Amino acid sequence: MKTTKGTFGIGVAFLAMAIAACGGGAPAPAPAATAAPAAAPASSIVSVEMTWDGPKDMDLEIWDSSGKHFLARSFNLCGEDRTSGGAPETFEFKKYDTGHFPEEWDGSRELDYSHGTYVVSAYFHGNSVSHDATIVVLKVKKADGTVDERRRKIEYDPGKDQWHAFTIDAATGAIADIDEFFKPQ
């Protein structure tokens, strides 16, 4: 059988590939050393975002872990008060600089929400353009980047206008459902 130098090289390479594809031939080389696993990404700030169908004046509120003492409204710490639905209200569980608050903030209150357990609540404000029931959506962005969501129909009716949705761990974003309407004593 007559072969040329170039053809013989191609035939050997083809034969080696065929043997390897069928699991035969020389043992597979040892796997290369792998790099150490990448470090976990740094934790991000835990936050809650509230949306609802408008036009209603809803407030995203943060209460102490017992759910009996109001602490903050999202718009006091995180921006504009949304009074007609559409754009969300958001609260970030972090430490706040008291220097930029209105005069009624005396600066002596601790405004460090970066750790601890709090109650997340939605309040249906009486100043709403419409008092028809609304669907509230609360989205929790956890420290690991995952998102958890809760929905509830809220009515403007004394005893059904303050929804304590869940407790939240400010450092991780872990939540435990409460799902009850708060009735002040």
Residue 159: pLDDT above 70?
Answer: yes
148-176: average pLDDT: 92
Percent of the chain surpassing pLDDT 70: 61
Tens digit of each residue's pLDDT (9 = 90 or more) over 170-182: 999 999 999 999 8
Q: Establish how many alpha carbons lie within 13 A of residue 75's alpha carbon, considering only the half-sphere containing its beta carbon.
A: 13
pTM passes above 0.75: no
pLDDT in the model for residue 18: 36
> How far is it, in rounded angstroms, from Cα 96 to Cα 114?
9
Cα 154 from Cα 165, distance rounded (Å): 11
Predicted pLDDT at 31: 41
The pLDDT of 95-101, averaged and rounded, is 66
pLDDT at 3 over 70: no
| CATH fold for the domain made of 47-181 | Immunoglobulin-like (2.60.40)
Tens digit of pLDDT for each residue in 18-30? 333 333 444 444 4
Give me the sign of the Cα torsion angle 99, 101, 104, 106: negative
Alpha carbon separation from 33 to 25, 38, 66 (Å, rounded): 23, 15, 52
Comparison of pLDDT for 38 and 122, the residue scoring more: 122
